[in-house]
């Protein structure tokens, strides 16, 4: 399907929020979207993000943290920033691009024991999914 809408999800580290959003939109959006995620300062996919997604039967264990530089010059229908830092540092993409910004707490910065930190990843995952439901239904 060549008429799929191209979506880039952008965050800072591409380690949690962007990865979860990519997995959710691929899963929930079906064949309507071609989804990528990237970071302004890519690092690695957090194990807690992988676990939070596994709990809802979405496997992101093969994802890798990508730099936004890999996508500069490519055309997207929509660029979604999921943190304020990425929103401020988002490059300009060619063509008519819809920019969407959602500010989510960084679950990677959560403190406490593993259970407490994983609870934050779950909450942020669910908040992202709630926003994506509205995004998908408006397309």
11 included as an active-site residue: yes
Identify the active-site residue in 9, 10, 11, 118: 11
Identify the active-site residue in 16, 45, 82, 83: 83
Long-range contacts of 96-103 (CB under 8 A, 24+ apart): 100/135, 102/128, 102/131
60 included as an active-site residue: no
**Orientation angle between helical segments 47-54 and 17-29, nearest 10 degrees:** 30
Q: How many CA atoms lie less than 13 Å away from 99 in the CB half-sphere?
A: 13
28 included as an active-site residue: no
Q: CA–CA distance from 111 to each of 17, 32, 58, 118, 127 (Å)?
A: 16, 37, 25, 10, 19
Active site residues per annotation: 11, 83, 90
């Amino acid at each position: 399907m060549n008429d799929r809408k191209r979506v880039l999800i952008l965050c800072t580290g591409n380690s949690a929020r962007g990865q979860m959003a990519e997995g959710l939109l691929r899963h929930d959006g079906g064949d309507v979207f071609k989804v990528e995620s990237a970071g302004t300062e890519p690092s690695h996919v957090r194990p807690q993000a992988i676990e939070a997604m596994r709990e809802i039967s979405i496997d992101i264990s093969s994802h890798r943290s990508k730099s936004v530089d890999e996508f500069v010059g490519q055309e997207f229908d929509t660029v979604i920033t999921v943190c304020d830092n990425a929103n401020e540092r988002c490059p300009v993409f060619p063509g008519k691009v819809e920019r969407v910004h959602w500010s989510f707490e960084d679950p990677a910065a959560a403190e406490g024991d593993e259970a407490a930190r994983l609870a934050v990843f779950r909450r942020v995952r669910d908040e992202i999914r709630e926003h994506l439901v509205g995004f998908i239904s408006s397309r």
